[in-house]
Amino acid sequence: MGSINPLGLISIGSSLGLIPGAISTAVQVASQVGALPNKQQESRKSEQSLALQQLQERQGLQQKQLEADSSLERERIAVTTDAANDERRAALRRAVARQRARFGASGIGNSGGGSSEAVLLGLFEESDDDLASRERLDKLRNQALDLNVGQNKSLNVLQRSQLQQRQKFEREVSSFF
């Protein structure tokens, strides 16, 4: 600052020599302040890119795990179905043998007996109905597994796009400040 003369006025002459140094310091500070947001923006973009990459990797692993679980569940359904079909066929053979034994004990033979054939056909139809019901149930289970995998894929896309939009919004907001 300048000095005060006897009249109480500030001597500006001595203060003018300080102005170029002050301007130089102000320019340096302004350039550093201006560069700081760029560094922050680059750092923020890098962090956001890393966050998106980590989300995608995590979702990819979760998706693979879900697909593996679904595959195992399909195999379990298939094994259970095969076992149930074997049991159904064995039960049908036992029921037919039992019914034929009853018919034989009653004196009704295999020769053209319409009633005995109708009873045996009823057993086969009942077995076929059980098989159809089982197949419908297995089809629904498999569709549920497919739906679960599809919904997880959709959820992953939604989460990624939400993260990208949030990051874009944050970048836009930070560019104003």
Q: Write the secondary structure of the chain as one string of H (helix), E (strand) and C (coil).
A: CCCECCCCCECCHHHHCCHHHHHHHHHHHHHHHHHHHHHHHHHHHHHHHHHHHHHHHHHHHHHHHHHHHHHHHHHHHHHHHHHHHHHHHHHHHHHHHHHHHHHHHHCCCCCCCHHHHHHHHHHHHHHHHHHHHHHHHHHHHHHHHHHHHHHHHHHHHHHHHHHHHHHHHHHHHHHHC
Mean pLDDT of 134-139: 95
Asked if residue 90 is part of any domain, the answer here is yes
C-alpha distances (whole Å) from 84 to each of 61, 66, 97, 126, 167 are: 34, 26, 20, 15, 53
Exposed / middle / buried, residue 74 (Cβ in 10 Å: 0-12, 13-18, 19+): middle
Q: Look at residue 103 and tell me if it is in a domain.
A: yes
Task: Determine which of 21-35, 92-106, 118-132 has the lowest per-residue pLDDT on average.
Answer: 21-35
Q: Which of 6-20, 73-87, 121-135, 159-173 has the lowest mean pLDDT?
A: 6-20
Residue 43 located in a structural domain? no
pLDDT for 85: 92
How many domains does the chain contain in total?
1
Boundaries of domain holding 87: 51-176
Lowest mean pLDDT among 39-43, 76-80, 102-106: 39-43
Instruction: List all residues 6 or more positions away from 131 whose beta carbon is below 8 Å from its beta carbon.
Output: 85, 88
Whether residue 29 is contained in a domain is answered as no
Q: Does the residue 143 lie in any domain?
A: yes
Residue 136 is assigned to a structural domain of this protein? yes
